[in-house]
Structure 1
């Protein structure tokens, strides 16, 4: 999103991206004219690297989720989805099921759709927002978290900003397994003809697995299609 906006505005952009991000994501970012700086998510801090680059270059730092403007912008997802449901005569979403990493998208939708219940979904072992909401304080991801295909949802600690928004909205959380995520990707391909990255499929996985019950007006956010073809083929063939 940042690379696309920068190209549209005619300004330079540098994206700090994990070295294990899908090749498609890196190539798409480079194709938009942005510079990509990679880091090791296990040993380095994206925030520290990005802040250092911004200071050295006199650039504006755009956080991935921990910022009021980012949260507000991501809330437009909920506004647009609710408008589409209204146009179809479906009324206001009763509940919104949302993929959650740092919580920017979830918090934005929670603020935008104040009459809808909110459920955030994360991969098992990376469900720090779920545990934080249940504990009523921030619980970081534990030591040695399990591997996950959800590269976009590997946030080690949610921010006080997103946690506060979701707490005030009485949001609930669900964790899904890697097998459930792959099954959701496969279902989306077969039934919807959509290519969904693992992190974008967790909400659908929660519904298909029965961890979130079907109800009238249920809105499930499918977010992102950045997945390498080999990994995607393996997931949908399982």
Structure 2
């Protein structure tokens, strides 16, 4: 059984996570997520399980490589990871959730060295055809700590057996593996044209736990793009 790593989450609205490592202890992260580290931390970049594992991660829009950070000094070592846009860091102990959670393709930040990082295709054909963000999820499995990034504010919902809720697909950050999910058509001509929420929503059914974000990166990017000045000389 893996030891639980020591860490602290720093900041309020634009958070980062600092991991404290014992000699020989390591942590894994997406390439490019590291913010700072001590002098005795070694970096080992690889595919995290062979070429096939690297290609599978590329399908989710993540890096082909996974970087491991191992402390090779004495005493305590520190390494910190920050997300690429404003938001919160969710700390999840996989032992508390059956050893496995699923997260959105751009949500994974870092994890204890023994955590396996894979992809999980949607359970239902409807999600694959229409869900967009919901088609491919990342599966994080093991018995250690994982850290997931969410945009804006985090909302955790613990669903009872049979309890359902519908959410904007981009607002779903992570869920435990026992949550049933599907992508459903909103319906209605006016909803489709003027609703502003898209044609589809994600339906979640308990039991299980889900984590939601108030500001998906796709929504933030759309607002920034809309505010940019148009090139009047173009064309």
TM-score, normalised to structure 1, is 0.24
Which has more radius of gyration?
2
More strand by share: 2
TM-score normalised to structure 2 length: 0.25
